[in-house]
């Protein structure tokens, strides 16, 4: 997958549809990945979410429309997919620091955000530790929760994470010395607007009350090892490097039927199911 070509295709599509509703599904199809993955990689490569990028582009163009036409503010608001002049004025003022009407005055400054272009920048040789590992089907016992398209990592599982973890270590490690596993739904895809996540340890036959069982199919994995600390921003950065730098030159493609995993033990690892090209 050529991420740079795909993302530039996304930017072109956005430009052609600034005055139309834009669905994330349409954008992810241009790149050829899931909505979940597209949103994450776009944010990392662009430095902002795709919704924020679209907002900035629309409000940038709105300034020129106001300055160069006699159209009513409400008509320009509707043109750029705002449901009312109130929501348009609020968004406009948040970005530009002033009201839409002030755009028809002279000596008033506004911000403009031109379309971005994604390019590959060579910064030197970066070491990326990986191994290829075959693993038979196994089960993970732990806590399951859900993320949604709207929340993206602020879903049910994060809401229950803190109180759960206080009890989790004690209960689980009374029985197991296995590392933590975090399991994402197959190919990180949403089902009915939700994506299931499970965090736990490999199941050894003794069930603990209040926990769930998740079955992981047999697969061949590319396993990437990283030093701690672990954090959401660090994960996103390394995940993007795997997709945009490692895969294009590796001779492997992702196995879309597998489950992506994270493992926390002596090292932090990302497990991505792969197939040979």
Q: Going from the N-terminus, what domains does the chain have, and what CATH number goes with each?
A: 3-104 (1.10.10.60), 130-276 (3.20.80.10)
| 165/86: higher pLDDT | 86
Q: Residue 158: is its pLDDT beyond 50?
A: no
Please give the average per-residue pLDDT across 167-179, as a whole number. Answer: 56
Given this model, what pLDDT does residue 224 score?
A: 86
Please give the C-alpha separations between residue 15 and each of 10, 110, 206, in angstroms, as whole numbers.
9, 20, 55
Percentage of the chain with pLDDT > 90? 24
Please give the average per-residue pLDDT across 196-217, as a whole number. Answer: 79
Q: Which residues contact 147 (CB under 8 A, 6 or more apart)?
A: 153, 154, 155, 156, 157, 194, 195, 197
DSSP string covering 181-215, please?
EEEEPGGG--BTTEEEEEEEEE--S---TT-EEEE
108 burial type by CB count under 10 A (0-12 exposed, 13-18 middle, 19+ buried): middle
User: How far apart (Å, rounded) are the C-alpha atoms in residues 110 and 105?
Assistant: 11
pLDDT for 85-108, tens place per residue? 999 999 999 998 889 988 888 677
User: How far apart (Å, rounded) are the C-alpha atoms in residues 259 and 257?
Assistant: 7
Please give the C-alpha separations between residue 6 and each of 31, 44, 72, 217, in angstroms, as whole numbers.
4, 15, 36, 30
Q: Residue 184: is its pLDDT beyond 60?
A: no
User: How far apart (Å, rounded) are the C-alpha atoms in residues 67 and 101?
Assistant: 9
Given this model, what pLDDT does residue 195 score?
A: 67
**Mean pLDDT estimate for the chain:** 78
Instruction: Kindly report which listed range (2-11, 70-79, 171-180) carries the lowest average pLDDT score.
Output: 171-180
- With the C-alpha atoms ordered 263, 245, 249, 190, is the resulting torsion angle positive or negative? positive
Please give the average per-residue pLDDT across 179-200, as a whole number. Answer: 61
pLDDT band at residue 193, thresholds of 50, 70 and 90?
A: low
pLDDT band at residue 225, thresholds of 50, 70 and 90?
A: confident
pLDDT band at residue 163, thresholds of 50, 70 and 90?
A: low
What HEC string does 74-142 produce?
Answer: HHHHHHCCCCCHHHHHHHHHHHHCCCHHHHHCCCCCCCCCCCCCCCCCCCCCCCCCEEEEEECCEEEEE
Please give the average per-residue pLDDT across 173-199, as a whole number. Answer: 59
Instruction: Give the range with max mean pLDDT: 31-45, 83-97, 146-160, 215-229.
Output: 83-97
Q: Are residues 118 and 7 in contact, defined by beta-carbon separation less than 8 angstroms?
A: yes
User: How far apart (Å, rounded) are the C-alpha atoms in residues 227 and 90?
Assistant: 43
Q: Which two tokens stand for residue 51?
A: 């919704």
């Amino acid at each position: 997958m050529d991420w740079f070509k795909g993302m530039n295709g996304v930017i072109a599509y956005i430009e052609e549809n600034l005055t139309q509703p834009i669905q994330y599904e349409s954008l992810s199809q241009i790149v050829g990945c899931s909505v979940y993955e597209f949103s994450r990689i776009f944010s990392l490569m662009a430095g902002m979410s795709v919704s924020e990028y679209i907002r900035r582009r629309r409000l940038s163009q709105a300034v020129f429309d106001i300055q160069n036409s006699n159209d009513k503010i409400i008509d320009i608001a509707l043109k750029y997919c705002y449901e009312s002049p109130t929501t348009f004025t609020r968004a406009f003022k948040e970005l530009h620091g002033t009201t839409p009407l002030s755009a028809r005055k002279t000596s008033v400054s506004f911000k403009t955000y031109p379309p971005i272009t994604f390019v590959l920048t060579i910064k030197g040789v970066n070491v990326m530790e990986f191994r290829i590992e075959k693993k038979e089907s196994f089960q993970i016992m732990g806590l399951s929760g859900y993320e949604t398209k709207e929340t993206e990592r602020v879903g049910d599982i994060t809401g229950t994470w803190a109180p759960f973890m206080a009890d989790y270590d004690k209960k689980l490690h009374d029985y197991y010395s296995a590392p933590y596993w975090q399991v994402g739904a197959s190919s990180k895809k949403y089902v009915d607007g939700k994506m299931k996540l499970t965090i736990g340890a490999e199941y050894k036959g003794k069930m603990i009350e209040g926990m769930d069982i998740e079955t992981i199919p047999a697969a061949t994995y590319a396993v990437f090892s990283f030093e701690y600390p672990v954090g959401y921003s660090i994960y996103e950065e390394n995940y993007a490097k795997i997709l945009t730098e490692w895969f294009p030159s590796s001779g492997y493609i992702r196995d879309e039927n597998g489950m992506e995993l994270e493992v926390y033990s002596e090292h932090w690892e990302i497990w991505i199911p792969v197939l040979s090209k």
